[in-house]
Structure 1
Amino acid sequence: MWTIFMMQWKRLFKQPFVVLTFFGLTLLFVTFLGQGQSSPGVTVQTYTTNLPNHAYEELVERLNRTDDFNFKINDQETVEGLIRNNRLSFAVQLEQDTYEFIVGQSSFSQPLTNQYLNEVYQEVRWLLANDLTEDVLETFVPLEVTSRDTSGSAIEFQAQVIVGMTLYFVMYTVLFQMMSIAEQKTDGTWERMMLSPVSKFNIYSGLFLYYFLIGFIQVGVSFLIFTEWLGFSFGEQYSLLLLSISFFLISIVALGLMLVSVVRTPQQLQAVIPIVATASAMLGGAFWPLEFVTQPWLLAFSRFIPIRYGIESLSDVIVRSVAINDLLVPYSLLLGLTIIFGGVGFYFIEKQRK
């Protein structure tokens, strides 16, 4: 096992370009997106078609009572022009008791904005239904109100960006490293390894340990840099962080084994990896929240994607500081996917040898 393990490291030291490239892309994308999400105050362009000017201005003033958002008064023609020219991701049409999003492209800020608007409009509808004004609300009934800080949601989205992009690029690293198996299958080295005195268990164990460790190092170093560089806190539950990363990586190694088993040449695997990795990131919540995916069959398909559960478990540990009991479901699903992918991979690899 250790002979196979060390052979892979020697290969890496001779050709480190792929690993260094995806590690650099991780830092680049997360720094760009993460800093954008951590900047205070989300600017939101608004317009109205039915509200009088004074009512529209009062509503915008009310929405701007938080430091997390900056709602701007605008007109419909200008807003639609900005969206058509891709200069604006989304805007909001404000009316008396309802609102509507005008969306040009996906944005991490939109769900956060929608949550805040929903809370404000619920209060507005309650006041209208009871024929009350905001001035007499506090005198109508003495309440002790605990407000919900929307910055918690901002932290959640920032965590999703950092975790999602890190796992996305580590998928590339691990899967492209597994191209060595496809190359060995093509040139006959794989068959000679299987016929050597080294047991199959030791061969697969050495390869698995290498692929797992190279991914683990990339995630660990990335998280460490983000802590020092972006000032992002990953919490204090380090054991659960390590466990979540481990479950995700073993499922990715199993997925890679399955992909290697169904392709015949390294060129085919090189074409398949970007498709699988990018589709997984899109449907698993790495590029945008799963709330953006509305098709039921796509959501059902996302349940078979490891990165979805990797993001969920790591985000829960980082943002909510959950206990291990709350992570049993994603861990079980990742383990189940590992067994399925690994079983299919072993079956087809052995079948091809026969």
Structure 2
Amino acid sequence: MINILKTKFVLLARNPASFIIITVIICLFAYILGLGQQAKFPIAVFTDLEDQQTQFFMKELGKMPNKSFELFEEREAIEKVRNGDREVAIHLKEDGFDLVIAPDYMDAPLLQHEVSTIYSKVSQKQAIIQAYPVDKQNEISAVIDEAVANPSFHINYSNFSNDGAFIWDAKLHSLFGFTLFMVIYTVANGVNHIVMERRSHIWDRLIVSSIRKSEIYIANLVYSFILGYIQIAIVLAIFYFGLGVDFYGGFYQSLVIVIPYVLCIVALSIFIASIATTPGKFNAFIVVLAVPFAMLGGAYWPLEIVTSETILALSYISPITYGMDLLYGVTLNGSSLTDLIRPLGMLLFMTVVFMGIGINVMEKKEVR
């Protein structure tokens, strides 16, 4: 069995194009549809302040989520709002600020509140510093900066939501959805070796050798599983460590909880391999099944927005549905293992059924 595994990985090392291409496709689609659509709202800024003060305010403004601030000359900033290149511009002044907004910009009160908060912090700091003698003001300023950088205690904010409420994260959804979808092709490529070996009679030579048939099956299944699991681990690691996607403390749990899904896809591929007589038919069956499974399983869009009862009923036959439930459970929803029993059980049930039927059909074909 070990020798068969070594041979398959040597062949993969010689021709890794398919594995690499699918991995790159997953990353590109997940980034474009997840991170790419989270473009920050651009806001123009012009100022009457000195350079040091301007830099401080630009740094504070940059802390606002989902907004980007760019410094312009006054005439250029106003012209951009007038031409529609920017919906709002901020005029920074010594005693306050002004907003130059487009007629259809509806978030002016919210932006005004956020900028007012920054000015309040600055005014508070200046008031504290000016309360001390001039010769101690630099020292007091340094103490305040140190206190801000290293606070004595931290405040965490949380909110309550209704049980069963729909929680949405576009970054995680696109990442999980396309990863679970595209890994089907990677696992199928591994299982396709069985079809090719049976077609070219290599399988018959292995059977008559000293290697037991069970070892041949196990070697192929382990190879396909490792191939799919490594791809998922690589993609998730790229987005977690490289792009800083928030897994809500469940990154390492997601690497574990995805194992039943990969096993189910391996079993599904074995089932398809048992009914496909040629590699071409096998690939065709995979394509025909993978895309509908992705659509029904919520890989492209969340099932919570689907209103058709028929589509929701059909979603229960897709392994991707349960894979998404598991990944969302250990990340965004913070579910316990007890809460994940249903998707875990369904994936394991599918694995047993597909694997049992697939291997039995293969064996009956050999007897004939």
* TM-score bin (small chain): 0.5 to 0.7
Report the equivalent of 2:351: 338
| 4+ runs deviating over 4 angstroms | 60-67, 152-155
Q: Mark the CA change 1:234 to 1:66 in structure 2 (over 3 Å): closer, same or farther.
A: same
CA contact (8 A) 2:190 2:220 kept: no
On the 8 A contact 1:251/1:334 being kept in 2, the answer is yes
Given candidates 236, 256, 259, the residue that maps to 1:223 is 236
Report the counterpart of residue 183 of structure 1 in structure 2: 196
Match of 1:261 in 2: 274
Change (3 A) 1:194 1:293: farther
Tell me how far apart the structure 2 counterparts of residues 20 and 293 of structure 1 sit (CA, whole Å).
33
Partner SS, residue 300 of structure 2? coil
Retained in 2: the 8 A contact 1:176–1:273? Answer: no
Stretch of structure 1 that moved more, 190-199 or 312-321? 190-199
SS of the residue corresponding to residue 246 of structure 2 reads: coil
C-alpha displacement of 1:22: 0.3
Distance (whole Å) between structure 2 residues aligned to residue 190 and residue 221 of structure 1: 32
Displacement after TM superposition at 1:64 (Å): 8.2
- Whether contact under 8 Å (2:240, 2:251) holds in the other structure is no
Residue 228 of structure 1 aligns to a residue in which SS?
helix
SS of alignment partner, residue 295 of structure 2: helix
> What is the Cα deviation at residue 187 of structure 1?
0.8
Distance (Å, rounded) in 2 between the aligned partners of 1:64 and 1:154: 27
Question: How does 1:147-166 map onto structure 2 within 5 Å?
Answer: 156-166=169-179
1:252-331 aligned at under 5 Å gives the runs 252-331=265-344
- Consecutive unaligned residues of structure 2, counting only runs of 5 or more, are 42-65, 67-103, 112-158
Structure-1 residue corresponding to 2:138:
none
Query: Take 1:2 and 1:167, find their aligned partners in 2: how far apart are those partners?
Result: 28
Aligned pair in 2 of structure 1 residues 335, 268: CA closer, same or farther (>3 Å)?
Answer: same
Task: Write out per-residue CA displacement over residues 4-39 of structure 1, whole angstroms, 9 at most, x where no aligned residue.
Answer: 211210121122111111001011111111113434
TM-score, structure 1 normalization: 0.67
Q: Which residue of 2 aligns with 1:12?
A: 12
1:307-349 deviations in whole A, cap 9, x for unaligned?
A: 1111111012111222111111110010001011111111111
State the superposition RMSD in angstroms. 2.6
Indicate the percent of aligned positions where both proteins have the same amino acid. Answer: 30
Q: Any residues of structure 2 matched to 1:26-105 within 5 Å, and which?
A: 26-39=26-39
Any idea what SS the aligned residue of 2:211 has?
A: coil
- 1:255 is displaced (CA, Å) by 0.4
Give the stretch that moved more between structures: 189-198 or 245-254. 189-198
* Superposition deviation, residue 280 in structure 1: 0.8
Change over 3 Å in CA distance of 1:154–1:333 after alignment to 2? closer
Q: Within 2, Cα distance between the matches of 1:65 and 1:278?
A: 45
Counterpart of 1:18, as a letter, is S
The equivalent of 2:214 in structure 1 is 201
TM-score of the two chains, using structure 2 as the length reference: 0.64
CA contact (8 A) 1:283 1:293 kept: no
On the 8 A contact 2:34/2:173 being kept in 1, the answer is no
1:22 corresponds to 2:14: no
1:153 deviates by 6.7
Cα separation, partners in 2 of 1:238 and 1:147, compared to 1, 3 Å: closer
Q: 1:147 to 1:210 in 2, by over 3 A?
A: closer
SS class of match (1:236): coil
CA change 1:229–1:33 in 2 (3 A) is: farther
What whole-Å deviation, never above 9, does each CA across 1:215-238 have from its counterpart, x for those lacking one? 111111111111133310223345
* Paired amino acid for 1:259: I
Paired letter, 1:286: A
1:182–1:264 CA contact under 8 A, matched in 2: yes
Q: Is contact 1:30-1:162 (8 Å) kept?
A: yes
How much does 1:61 deviate? Answer: 8.9
1:233 matched residue in structure 2: 246
Write the deviation string for residues 38-77 of structure 1: whole angstroms up to 9, x where unpaired.
Answer: 34579xxxxxxxxxxxxxxxxx99898778xxxxxxxxxx
Q: Is the 8 A contact 1:191 1:353 kept in 2?
A: no
Mapped to 2, the partners of 1:194 and 1:34 lie a distance apart of: 47
Assess if the C-alpha contact under 8 Å between 2:268 and 2:355 holds in 1: yes
Q: CA deviation at 1:286?
A: 0.3
Query: Structure 1: how far apart are the matches of 2:193 and 2:27?
Result: 25
Distance in 2 of aligned mates of 1:23 and 1:15: 14
Structure 1: distance between partners of 2:107 and 2:338: 39
